[in-house]
Structure 1
Amino acid sequence: MIGRLRGTLLDKQPPWLVVDVAGVGYELEASMNTLVALPGTGEPVTLHTHLSVREDAHLLYGFAREQERALFRALIKVNGVGPKLALAILSGMDEDAFIRCVMDDDVKSLTRLPGVGKKTAERLIIEMRDRFPHWQPAGDTLEGLGGAAAPSSAPGKDPLADAEAALVTLGYKPAEAAKMLSGLEGEPTTEAMIKAALSRRLSG
């Protein structure tokens, strides 16, 4: 089991990133909350990880905070929730927001997330309610990331197209992703654009 990686951030193409560890490039999938918090490419980074082993692939997921990984692992234990949906949930809201939805029986907010219908939202609330009795707020710290967040969109790339592709990967339909990103062209990076679109979706 690979539990943590410390190395240099080589590439960041939401929802994917590559971390160089002693000359080996590890490809990871991460939530948008983690991607937004990461430093720029070429900077040192430390990520908590979860390795998913399937018959056809070994998939590695990266998390900025231990609490985010803990919630991811709890989510994939819920019936009908796999790693892709768990990552989409964590991209749409942070750990504290999700726990508040569970504790407040907020089905409406959960159903705004891609792939989460009413029945899935109700199942999440029922199965997750008693799993975090001692949950502590994660706060805004970037502990373990190796540095402050920095703009990382490479010159020549189309941040809007990258943001739309990332949202589609998370489970949104192309037309829905385009609508979510409408008017956000002024955001400085692809990650910031995605984060703003997800926040708009959650509050809308």
Structure 2
Amino acid sequence: MIGRLQGILVSRQPPWIVVDVGGVGYELEAPMSTFYDLPEPGKPVTLCTHYAVKEDTVALYGFLLESERSLFRAVQKVSGIGAKIALAILSAVSADDFARFVQSGDIAALTRIPGIGKKTAERMIVELRDRVDGFVGASPVAAFAALPKDPLSEASVALQSLGYKPAEITRLVRDASAPGDSAEDIIRKALRAALR
């Protein structure tokens, strides 16, 4: 089991991160909430990790916040939710907002997250309502600012990995981007617009 990685960030191409730990490059998949606060490549980074083994795959997921890893694990216990939807949840809303939506029974807000329909939202509310308190108010393992090289392309790739369709991505990125915006800015604004 790999629970934590501390090393040098080698690359960051949503949804993938490569971290060098003592000469070994670990490839991790991460939600956009983690990408917002990653350092520039070449800088040190510490991540909480989740190691998943299935019949035909092995995957490693990385998170800057322990609360995000806890949420990632908890939502997968709900029938019909796997790692892809768990990452989409963390990429679309903060752990605090997700907890608020579940506690208040806000099905409309939950169904605006890619991959979550009404029945899945209802199951999440029933199964997670008493367990979401632990996801709120945590502090990051590490927080840095980063400036991507090609913000529009990076934002488009990130939105595609979250399940948005090409036409929707084009519209969201066009409406969300402004001169000087980083990929994180564009993604943040696009996700807010998609959730309205």
Decide: shared fold, TM above 0.5. Answer: yes
Return the TM-score normalized by structure 1: 0.90
Determine which structure has the larger helix proportion and give its number.
2
Tell me how far apart the structure 2 counterparts of residues 109 and 132 of structure 1 sit (CA, whole Å): 16
How many percent of aligned residue pairs carry the same amino acid? 52
How many angstroms apart in 2 are the aligned matches of 1:190 and 1:58? 29
For 2:112, the equivalent position in structure 1 comes to 112
Classify 1:187/1:128 alpha carbon distance in 2 versus 1 (closer, same or farther; 3 Å).
farther
Among 150, 155, 161, the alignment partner of 2:146 is 150
CA distance in 1 between partners of 2:133 and 2:141 (Å): 25
Q: What's the counterpart of residue 159 of structure 1?
A: 151
Contact 2:32 2:158 (C-alpha < 8 Å) held by counterparts: no
Tell me if 1:8 matches 2:11: no
2:86 paired with 1:86: yes
Task: Provide Cα deviations, 1:81-113, integer angstroms capped at 9, x if missing partner.
Answer: 000000001100010000000011111111111
TM-score, with structure 2 as normaliser: 0.93
User: Which amino acid in the other structure matches residue 176 of structure 1?
Assistant: E
- The runs of 5 or more residues in structure 1 that have no matched partner are none
SS in 2 for 1:182: helix
1:96 alignment counterpart: 96
Aligned residue number for residue 186 of structure 2: 193
Describe the SS at the equivalent of 1:84.
helix
Q: CA RMSD in A?
A: 1.5
Q: Do 1:33 and 1:195's aligned partners in 2 also have CA atoms closer than 8 Å?
A: no
Kept after mapping to 2: 8 A contact 1:19/1:27: yes
CA distance in 2: counterparts of 1:136 and 1:195, whole angstroms: 19
Does the CA contact (< 8 Å) of 2:7 and 2:21 recur in 1?
yes
Contact 1:11 1:19 (8 Å CA) reproduced: yes
1:47-66 equivalence runs, <5 A = 47-66=47-66
Question: Displacement of 1:60 after TM fit?
Answer: 0.5
- Structure 1 residue matching 2:36: 3-state secondary structure: helix
Match of 2:17 in 1: 17
In structure 2, relative to structure 1, the CA distance for the partners of 1:134 and 1:44 (3 Å cut) is closer
- Aligned counterpart, 2:39: 39
2:170 maps to what in 1? 178
Partners of 2:107 and 2:34 in 1: CA distance: 24
- Counterpart-to-counterpart distance in 1, 2:136 and 2:111: 25
Contact 1:17 1:27 survives alignment (8 Å): yes
Alpha-carbon distance change, 175 to 52 in structure 1, aligned in 2, over 3 angstroms? same
Gaps of 5+ in 2: none
